[in-house]
């Protein structure tokens, strides 16, 4: 069965009204061959469509009219209408290679799929795209696309990615820029490999493609304790991390003067590792790089403070606790205390920084905290009536931590409800104050 075979049809949808049937294979829309979800999304956007459907040896055409951009209501065997493409690189900093053995199989899959970049915001390296696929991105104007650049110097990038095609990055990005495609980029900085002069060159060459290169995040390499046999990398120190931040900030100021945008931002983690204050709200412009941890804590503070306006004062709040990563803990204390002061509310609460024993103490972000570390470090502590955690500790749409411990198991061990909270200041305010 083809992966473009229709599995189900939403009742009342345009496809349902036109008589499309489950089990048929969608082969073309308005004469354009449908290979995967990109073709499907692009060619089904128009209001008047002719669908070519195949079932066994039988082929038929169905015409329908709908609203511009309205979904047809078709579901296929897989979301991509194809198999996800795995990464062909051997990056020296790959986080998947640093996972301990025995975790669920899906965590070891390395995706590097351009379709997921467009549809879900995943970052891709561009090293596994054929000439046809590169041309299709230009033809369909797949934009924006998120690119893991890491370095623009061809030889350095080949080393970083462990791929001979790694050196083609600027050629491909220049082609995308000429096609009018917007690109958001990421640089994972590794001490001694792609920082310093290499980073400066990367910033200069990427800035030359503005405004098609809209934003670039610079994040420190993440290192776990499971690196036996891997490329020797060291974490950033306070001195070297602050040096990277200063370098990026200086170049970003030049970009602001020249282009009207900073273009380049360091992640919150770089500021924390460098012992530096986080920039103000205005610094982050549109917060384009939130998914890479750029400005996340500042926006959380701004939103939580904004939630205070119009909120009742002297709210009675039952005692509670927050469990988060070591990096974010001081900022969360400050955010919660500031909101309580604005609402003239007395709080009884604790913020517990969870040391990551599962991946290693150098991993300090909340999203990589496991259920077993929560249990080990919170059991027997004064937790109040509930524990708040970041929702991104859990598998998307589920209640399972990275180590396969369930939320229910953690609650049973701690004896209080454990409440996942989205990365949003208004949601945090509601979870704390109940309003």
Q: How confident is the model at residue 339 (pLDDT cuts 50, 70, 90)?
A: very high
pLDDT surpasses 90 at 114: no
**Is-contact 233 221, C-beta < 8 A?**
yes
Instruction: Supply the pLDDT for residue 88.
Output: 82
| Contact call for residues 262 and 295 (beta carbons, < 8 A) | no
Nearest CA to 72 out of 24, 17, 27 is that of: 17
Count of Cβ atoms closer than 10 Å to residue 314 Cβ: 8
Domains of the chain as residue ranges with CATH: 6-76 (2.30.42.10), 96-293 (3.80.30.10), 300-433 (3.40.50)
Distance CA 127, CA 201 (A): 21
Q: Contact, 46 vs 30, CB < 8 A?
A: yes
Q: At what angle do helices 425-433 and 296-308 cross, to 10 degrees?
A: 50
- Which tens digits make up the pLDDT trace of 195-216? 999 999 999 999 999 999 999 9
Query: Over the stretch 54-94, which tens digit does the pLDDT of each residue have?
Result: 998 899 999 999 999 999 999 998 887 777 777 888 999 99
Report if pTM > 0.75.
yes
Tell me what percent of the chain is helix, strand and coil, each rounded to the nearest 5: 35, 20, 45
| Beta strands across the sheet bearing 25-29 | 32-33, 25-29, 48-55, 58-65
Residue 83: the pLDDT is 79
What's the confidence (pLDDT) of residue 1?
Answer: 54
Residues 213 and 177: beta-carbon distance below 8 Å: yes
- Residue 207's pLDDT is 98
296 touches 325 (CB < 8 A): no
> Residue 128: pLDDT band by 50, 70, 90 thresholds?
confident
- The per-residue pLDDT for range 150-170, each reduced to its tens digit, is 999 999 999 999 999 999 999
pLDDT of residue 79: 80
- C-alpha distance from residue 284 to each of 281, 394, 426 (Å): 6, 27, 19
Q: Averaged over 120-149, what is the pLDDT?
A: 89
Contact 388, 321 (CB under 8 A): yes
Mean pLDDT along residues 295-318: 91
Q: What is the pLDDT of residues 248-278, one digit of tens each?
A: 999 999 999 999 999 999 999 999 999 999 9
As a whole number of angstroms, the distance between CA 109 and CA 200 comes to 32
Give the number of other CB atoms < 10 A from CB of residue 159: 18
């Amino acid at each position: 069965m083809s992966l473009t075979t229709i599995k189900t049809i939403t009742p009342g949808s345009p496809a349902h009204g036109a008589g499309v049937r489950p089990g048929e294979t969608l082969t073309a829309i308005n004469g354009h061959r449908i290979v995967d979800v990109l073709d499907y999304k692009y060619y089904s956007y128009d209001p008047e469509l002719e669908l070519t459907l195949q079932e066994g040896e039988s082929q038929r055409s169905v015409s329908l009219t709908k609203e511009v951009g309205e979904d047809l209501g078709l579901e296929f065997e897989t979301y991509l209408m194809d198999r996800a493409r795995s990464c062909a690189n051997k990056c020296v900093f790959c986080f998947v290679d640093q996972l301990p053995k025995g975790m669920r199989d899906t965590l070891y899959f390395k995706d590097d799929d351009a379709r997921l970049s467009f549809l879900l915001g995943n970052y891709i390296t561009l090293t596994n795209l054929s000439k046809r696929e590169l041309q299709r991105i230009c033809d369909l104007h797949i934009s924006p696309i998120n690119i893991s650049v890491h370095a623009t110097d061809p030889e350095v990038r080949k080393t970083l990615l462990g791929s001979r095609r790694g050196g083609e990055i600027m050629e491909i990005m220049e082609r995308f820029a000429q096609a009018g495609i917007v690109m958001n980029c990421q640089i994972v900085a590794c001490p001694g490999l792609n920082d310093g002069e290499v980073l400066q060159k990367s910033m200069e060459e990427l800035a030359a493609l503005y405004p098609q290169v809209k934003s670039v995040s610079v994040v420190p390499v993440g290192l776990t304790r499971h690196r036996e046999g891997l490329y020797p990398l060291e974490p950033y120190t306070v001195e070297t991390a602050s040096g990277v931040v200063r370098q990026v900030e200086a170049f970003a100021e030049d970009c602001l003067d020249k282009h009207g945008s900073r273009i380049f931002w360091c992640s919150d983690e770089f500021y924390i590792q460098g012992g530096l204050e986080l920039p103000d709200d205005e610094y982050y412009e549109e917060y384009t790089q939130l998914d890479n941890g750029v400005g996340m804590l500042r926006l959380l503070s701004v939103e939580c403070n904004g939630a205070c306006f119009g909120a009742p004062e002297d709210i009675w709040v039952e005692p509670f606790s927050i469990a988060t990563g070591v990096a974010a803990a001081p900022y969360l204390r400050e955010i919660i205390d500031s909101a309580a002061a604005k609402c003239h509310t007395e709080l009884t609460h604790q913020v517990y920084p969870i040391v990551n024993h599962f991946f290693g103490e150098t991993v300090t972000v909340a999203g990589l905290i496991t259920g077993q570390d929560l249990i080990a470090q919170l059991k027997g502590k004064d937790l109040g009536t509930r524990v708040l955690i970041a929702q991104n500790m859990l598998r998307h749409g589920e209640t399972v931590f990275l180590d396969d411990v369930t939320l229910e198991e953690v609650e049973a061990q701690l004896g209080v409800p454990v409440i996942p909270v989205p990365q949003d200041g208004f949601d945090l305010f509601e979870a704390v104050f109940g309003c």
